[in-house]
Structure 1
Amino acid sequence: MIPPVVRVARLACGPSGAQAGERAIPEETPVAIVHNGSTYAVMMATPSDLEDFGYGFSLTEGVIGDLTDVESIETLEFDEADGAVGVEIRLWLSAERAGQMVARRRQIAGPTGCGLCGVESLELAVKPARAVTAGRSFSAGEVAQAIAALPAAQALNRQTRAVHAAAFWEPEEGLIALREDVGRHNALDKLVGHLVRHGREATSGIVLLTSRVSIEMVQKTAMLGAGVLVAVSAPTALAVRTADKAGITLVAIARDDGFEIFTHPHRILIGGAEQERIAHVG
């Protein structure tokens, strides 16, 4: 398979002059999501955890409702000798689900991790997220623990400093899974695919993002059914409104010195006067 990381020559320039050497950088390649022989989307993605990507993307896009809609899945790699370079993730859906597939197709190669390439209407772009009513509560300390667990698990980012991560954390087990990609949407789709394939109940933990929070990231988290989304960067205003309507607790700008709660603060247990203050948020 195509390696997710490659080493390239580079010249590092600084106050003391220039020094030749190498740097590890992430690979990206066209990845086609194909349902029953028909290409649904072509994304630029990191070539790792591709079956997770196929399941997760198909689920968050609403092409499948659950794993039972997929009869089989395979990944095929193509090189220049084949006339095209990239990977196809081929999913064969049940006859019933295939008959329900939406008519729109997104047969374009979008920019890295683009979440809206080929969407044919503004209505589809800002469609309401699935309502999330369940979800346990977490203490402020547990949120801090979850964020602190990310760096050590980001193997690709340690090598490249150029990829996003999406992860799932539970108090009892710690970091359950983490997926990385040059595209933040791709990383979250890979995480979703892994969790649903392993039957993990999303209401029991926290979805973690190393990126900013846009509407698509909230929509994908809602499809997974997770009640708490925590990100190290800031959300967009539309993401906040979407999370509020979906019932998702959105925590962002989560750093070593604290975090900010934007919606549904009842799932974050802080205590004292501070809890009374944030109770009025969202």
Structure 2
Amino acid sequence: MSSRPIHVYEDGKLTEQTDMIAEESPLTILVNGDEFATLLCTPTYLEELSLGFLASEGLIRTANEVESMSVIKEKGYVYVQLYNRHRLDQVSVSKRYIGSCCGKSRQFYFQNDVQTAKTVMTKTTIKASQCIKLMQELQQTSTDFQQTGGLHNVALGTPDGLLLIRSDIGRHNGLDKVYGHCLKHKLSLKNKIIVFSGRLSSEVLLKVSKIGAGIVLTKSAPTTLAIELAEDLGITTAGFIRNNRFNVYTHPQRIVE
């Protein structure tokens, strides 16, 4: 976040005030000396973001596959060296690919999604009251959003509470930061829950599947493709979690009274 002078119009008058603004900057990730991707992100937890992004794109499965990583925040660069010098040649991130999802009717649009999206088989359950409590906890602890109004919040948790919260201008970046933190610290993702502040799009749903979480809770709405993918990938989705109600869109057996 950064503060900027602004002019506020209210009750017929313009006054000068100071406002907190969400930061946005480009981050270029170079892998084995080659430019791999440029992300637009909030420049925090950049090592976690890079690890999570590389894992979700299929370049790595664990942090142990990274020989070295150097983050130059001021210049917006991350230099990554993988032990597998040929891994970048084996992964295509730009070629569009139409294939079946889990042998069913849905379709992925990128080859790396076919390779990395997981069908989730978790038997974890959560009480409806715990869903509401987790969303309330996310909102109460999201101080960066409260100050700027321009960030998405993503949390990793269990039915009993949140374990980790990350913020970013991009919903997908927030998920990658959570994923990268778990990879970096070798935290188990088994039986974990994703709690989310923004719209549940197909892109977000695919990242949740790559993380391996079987339940995703959001304050906002899902899209049709996200629901279809969640149905096929075995992910429970609940949206519009506000006050004391919410909607369950897929695999409702994991949410109990």
Shifted more, 15-24 versus 236-245: the winner is 15-24
Which runs of structure 2 are paired with 1:55-134 in the superposition (5 Å)?
55-78=51-74, 86-95=75-84, 98-99=86-87, 101-104=89-92, 119-121=94-96, 123=98, 125=109, 127=113, 129-134=117-122
Shift in Å, 1:258? 1.1
Partners of 1:102 and 1:45 in 2: CA distance: 26
Amino acid aligned to 2:109: A
Does the alignment pair 1:227 with 2:227? no
Change (3 A) 1:141 1:50: same
Partners of 1:157 and 1:193 in 2: CA distance: 21
Any conservation in 1 of the 2:30–2:78 contact (CA below 8 Å)? yes
| TM-score normalized with structure 1 length | 0.81
Does the alignment pair 1:141 with 2:116? no
| Residue from 223, 231, 240 that aligns with 1:244 | 231
| Residue from 201, 211, 223 that aligns with 1:214 | 201
Shift in Å, 1:200? 2.5
May I ask how many residue pairs the two structures share in their alignment? Answer: 244
| Residue from 8, 18, 29 that aligns with 2:14 | 18
Shift in Å, 1:242? 0.4
Any conservation in 2 of the 1:63–1:101 contact (CA below 8 Å)? no
Aligned to 1:166, the other structure's residue is in SS state strand
Partner of 1:204: 191
Aligned to 1:204, the other structure's residue is in SS state coil
Amino acid aligned to 1:125: Y
Any conservation in 1 of the 2:31–2:88 contact (CA below 8 Å)? no
Aligned to 1:149, the other structure's residue is in SS state helix
Change (3 A) 1:56 1:10: same
Change (3 A) 1:50 1:264: same
Partner of 1:156: 144
Any conservation in 2 of the 1:140–1:269 contact (CA below 8 Å)? yes
Any conservation in 2 of the 1:164–1:183 contact (CA below 8 Å)? yes
Shift in Å, 1:198? 2.3
Any conservation in 1 of the 2:59–2:91 contact (CA below 8 Å)? no
| TM-score normalized with structure 2 length | 0.89
Shift in Å, 1:122? 5.1
Amino acid aligned to 1:49: Y
Shift in Å, 1:140? 0.3
Change (3 A) 1:135 1:56: farther
Identity %: 28
Change (3 A) 1:53 1:262: same
Deviations 1:65-96 (A, max 9, x none): 22221122110134xxxxxxx41122211126
Shifted more, 122-131 versus 69-78: the winner is 122-131
Structure 2 spans left out of the alignment, 5+ residues: 99-107
Structure 1 spans left out of the alignment, 5+ residues: 79-85, 106-118, 271-282
Partners of 1:239 and 1:213 in 2: CA distance: 7
Any conservation in 1 of the 2:22–2:148 contact (CA below 8 Å)? yes
Aligned to 1:217, the other structure's residue is in SS state helix
Any conservation in 2 of the 1:135–1:228 contact (CA below 8 Å)? no
Amino acid aligned to 1:227: G
Partner of 1:183: 170
Moved over 4 A (4+): none
Partners of 1:224 and 1:257 in 2: CA distance: 28
Partners of 1:103 and 1:225 in 2: CA distance: 21
Any conservation in 2 of the 1:36–1:91 contact (CA below 8 Å)? yes
Aligned to 2:206, the other structure's residue is in SS state helix
Does the alignment pair 1:46 with 2:42? yes
